[in-house]
Amino acid sequence: MEKLVIHGGNRLTGEMSVHGSKNSALPILAATALTGCESVIHNCPRLSDVDAAIDILKSLGCKVNRENDTVTVNSCCLENDEVPAPLMQKMRSSVIFMGAMLGRNGKAVLSAPGGCEIGLRPIDMHISAVKALGVSVTNEDGRLYFTAENGLKGAKITLPFPSVGATENVMLAACVAKGTTVLDNAAREPEITDLADFLNKCGARIYGAGDSTLIIKGVNRLHPAEHTVIPDRIAAASYLLCAAVTQGNILINEITPKHIAVLLPVLQEMGCIIKLSANSVRLVAPARLSRVEILRTMPYPGFPTDIQAPMTAALSVADGTSVMIENIFESRYKHISELLKLGANISVEGRMAVIRGVPYLSGALLRAPDLRGGFALITAALAARGESEITHIEHIYRGYEEPEHILESLGADIKRI
């Protein structure tokens, strides 16, 4: 079994850039199945979840070629309507193929999606939304059969919660539906805007991405397009937190600072100096971080749930007591029992974690519970005295491209064994 071995205590310094956004690349790759022609996607990160999306495209009959960070997909001849169960199991985002396949063929067969175990993660909102577009859904032999017998029809839909995945599925299906769809309470994440940008380059007419109402005017067909995936804001935030816990001084280039705008004042409250340019962020950390009074995870532009775990790790060595409230996923504190092994003082009650900062952590044997929880353990181990070993690191590689190389280049003592 592979593991990461980290000797903590090294100060991180230097410059880096982040890979393309996982959570943009996945729906955009699904969208390439909808277009029925060739799409060229640049800045596609080399991550196991992206490999899973490529395997799904191939299983549907697409021709896919990857050269470095550019993935070319030709979806002219789709052969299958079903995402095979073993591929569904590989990641949660397999569910986004539903909207793409419905838009393409009016049919999709899916089984239960896999992915990080961070909560129940039902897909009821996806199902009600596509039903509103004229899709019937039946559940047989552990599979969900989606059929738009009379074609997809634009509709007025209000999501009960701004679900990222449900918003993406509606965009994919509605952009080729007959008539106009108005989606209220849509997710506003930058990844939604990136998907809209790609689809609009293909000829779709999606208006309002980034706002909570999307207007999607259905078009008859899409055409070939080339697109560059936005930088990964969650990876950028994660590395800033690694610098913050190691008294570091790092510059992250080629990112979009406004995508992490909510994090920057929090880092300042923790005592970090932040210097911004149009496409870079420098963080200079203090000798010891300060606590933050209270942080609540919220849909974008609120504090991202995906940064909660690395932030909890950073606050575990801050001076004072911080409170974290996880509002998005009900089981996203699995990293905390691992942080306790390092000597952190954190208690959890329901959605609230109370983090009493300790002066130092000490190396321990750790197990990555999920993607962001796994990165939180890297963050904590970089700050800890002595050696830590992290197992089950396959979770981490779903969302971070070669983190050991990036961190080593900044001065960390980290090895993948």
Task: In angstroms, give the least distance from the CB of 198 to ligand EPZ.
Answer: 14
- 325: three-class secondary structure by DSSP: strand
Q: How many CB atoms lie within 10 A of CB 321?
A: 14
- 2: three-class secondary structure by DSSP: coil
Nearer to ligand EPZ, 96 or 272 (CB): 96
Task: In angstroms, give the least distance from the CB of 232 to ligand EPZ.
Answer: 9
Task: In angstroms, give the least distance from the CB of 11 to ligand EPZ.
Answer: 27
Q: Is residue 306 part of the contact set for ligand EPZ (CB under 6 A)?
A: yes
Determine whether 116 is an active site residue: yes
Residue 32: C-alpha distances to residues 75, 101, 156, 195 (Å) = 7, 10, 25, 11
Among residues 44, 76, 77, 116, the one annotated as catalytic is 116
Asked if residues 71 and 64 have their Cβ atoms less than 8 Å apart, the reply is yes
Of 160, 28, 46, 154, give the one whose Cα is nearest residue 97. Answer: 28
Nearer to ligand EPZ, 216 or 371 (CB): 371
Cβ-based neighbours of 316, under 8 Å, separated by 6 or more: 339, 342, 344, 345, 346, 355, 357, 358, 361, 380
Residues 175-234 contacting ligand EPZ, CB under 6 A: 187, 191
Task: In angstroms, give the least distance from the CB of 134 to ligand EPZ.
Answer: 19
Residue 312: C-alpha distances to residues 7, 197, 407 (Å) = 20, 33, 19
Residue 121 has phi, psi (to 5 degrees) of 50, 55
**152-184 burial string, b = 16+ CB within 10 Å, else e?**
bbbbebebeebbbbbbbbbbbbbbbbeebbbbe
Residue from the set 329, 333, 375, 400 that interacts with ligand EPZ by CB under 6 A? 329
Residues that bind ligand EPZ (rule: CB under 6 A) add up to a total of 28
Task: In angstroms, give the least distance from the CB of 115 to ligand EPZ.
Answer: 7
Residue from the set 19, 90, 92, 335 that interacts with ligand EPZ by CB under 6 A? 92
Residue 53 gets which letter from DSSP? H
Nearer to ligand EPZ, 306 or 401 (CB): 306
Q: Is residue 119 part of the contact set for ligand EPZ (CB under 6 A)?
A: yes
Q: Is residue 122 part of the contact set for ligand EPZ (CB under 6 A)?
A: yes
Nearer to ligand EPZ, 86 or 119 (CB): 119
Chain residues in the site for ligand EPZ (CB under 6 A): 22-23, 26, 92-93, 116, 119-126, 161, 163-166, 187, 191, 305-306, 328-329, 371-372, 399
Q: So which residues are the catalytic ones?
A: 116
